Structure 1
């Protein structure tokens, strides 16, 4: 396995500055933002697609430092009912897929999106309970009319560029659990898989190790994010796991994102890494920093230190003892 980072946390640095800093930390891979919610501070798809010399220089910036690009990421909501939003995010996704193909980057990460509840809706509707039955009707309408048709088309586009799509199982979006990911994969094809991030599973009550085993048996893990979560044992009983307070209300929230090792111990993370190896995932573990108690630099470096202790780097050898 290789250790990497989602470089949008270094948006204030130039690309060269960010890559030098990442390399100095001993990392192997970089995940690059290309639009949507994370922004495109280090990568402008329109410019690179229009100019072969800029494309070559961009690629060389990584290769000259011995780094690989693990994924291009444009997390957005291409199914948003407001066309101005969905069109922008859809365009970013399509350009990112094309760019990934030209760069030889195998994965494009994003969200599944979440539509509204009818054609004239203004806001996404995320059904999370089975009754009253209205929610079941909304869910059926979304999957039949919006989610499956859109991702069938995107999967074909990805296949044509030899790219796979890593959907992050994130609350608020239609694909947020192993079951919903596999439902879409069955409908749209094997280009669809997970950008598995344990932090979003823990607060939903899903064991990441079991999620890895479920998805890994279907070869449905395309990329992996390393981010932690802590659940406050008092606040969760007050607000529940669907806590709608701002992430800035850290003292009162039911749960919050943490740097690796600050929500769960390293034995838990060792179990996660071992589960990835068990199901055949031998690609990149990409650090994502969203810890409100630490600076970017401290949260990132602590995640690097912790993951270096549990990452399995060497190829699996023969079981000499068998």
Structure 2
């Protein structure tokens, strides 16, 4: 099993400086961003696209580091109805698949995307609870948009020897196991799998260990990020919209055309936290054991999004818990 880091929290420094941090934390792999919501800060995707010779040369950056490349990440919304976002994210994903093939990589992580509610819509619409017949109409339209795209992506992935691993992420058409299986049923896809990020399952009240064992072979990749449910959840529940819009003169992350990440609620119902701050090493040992039962060579990467910790500090804290979990599980 490969235990590593999705390097997005360290985009402020070059990859050559990131790899020693990863190795010193006891980790042996990295997953690199190749487009979508975030820029490809650690890999020259345009230069590598379609050029296996350039890809082989670039891979030398890993020689002697004790760290290997284990997957590319292109999280975005390739089904966004605004073409300035949707078409760009879709092309980023296609390019990521081609680059993965050139690099000899077999996994590209992404999100399923989310269309608008109807033809001509300008913004995505997430149906959270389809209790009305109109909501089912919206979902059917969204599937009509999604199926041709993901059928195309499945064929492209097969051409390049890649499995596309969909993160079960809210605000996407595919956000839980049933919606993933529905995508497979509607498309007949053979190169689509799941990137099992436990954090998004936690706050939706799913059990990641149960999900891994029930999805089985469909789990192709994994991420470890923890969640802490706060007392405020007793008041507002986990579906909380008390985010604050950041102004143009504040630091903010752009994720699409005229779209930016909002400030997290100050009294949040739940938070992303470093590994061990929501679930102890014993729990993560169960998670790793379940993943190893599916694939002993599974890549499992830390995603650091605990805003109370600095980037390097957060990676180190999470890595210590992950390595202890691997030891308890008998994987190290």
| Same fold, TM-score > 0.5, yes or no | yes
Task: State the shift of 1:23 in Å.
Answer: 2.1
What secondary structure sits across from 1:285 in the alignment? strand
Return 5+ residue gaps in structure 1 as ranges.
Answer: 317-322
Q: Hey, what does 2:311 align to over in structure 1? A: 296
Aligned length: 312
| Secondary structure in structure 2 of the residue aligned to 1:311 | helix
CA contact (8 A) 1:276 1:282 kept: no
Matching residue within 237, 241, 262 for 1:240: 237
Rounded Cα–Cα distance in structure 2 between residues aligned with 1:38 and 1:224: 19
Whether the 8 Å contact between 1:221 and 1:281 is mirrored in structure 2 is no
TM-score normalised to the size of structure 2? Answer: 0.89
1:261 alignment partner in structure 2: 276
Residue 182 of structure 2 is matched in structure 1 by 183
1: CA distance, partners of 2:137 / 2:51: 47
TM-score normalized with structure 1 length: 0.92
1:228 alignment counterpart: 226
Question: Greater RCO between the two (CA within 8 Å, min separation 6)?
Answer: 2
Structure 2 runs not aligned, ≥5 long = 244-261
**3-state SS, counterpart of residue 42 of structure 2:** coil
1 CA distance for matches of 2:52 and 2:323? 37
Aligned-residue CA RMSD (Å):
1.9
Are the counterparts in 2 of residues 239 and 253 from structure 1 also a CA contact under 8 Å?
no
Over 3 Å counting, the alpha-carbon distance change for 1:19 and 1:201 in structure 2 is same
Please tell me whether residue 154 in structure 1 is matched to residue 153 in structure 2.
yes
Alignment match of 1:283 (pick from 295, 298, 316) = 298
Map 1:1-322 → 2, pairs under 5 A: 1-49=1-49, 54-143=54-143, 145-188=144-187, 189-216=189-216, 219-232=217-230, 234-246=231-243, 248-249=263-264, 251-311=266-326
1:203–1:231: 8 Å Cα contact kept in structure 2?
Answer: yes
Give the superposition deviation at 1:29.
Answer: 0.8
* Alpha-carbon distance in 1 for matches of 2:106, 2:321: 27
Alpha-carbon distance in 2 for matches of 1:133, 1:310: 46
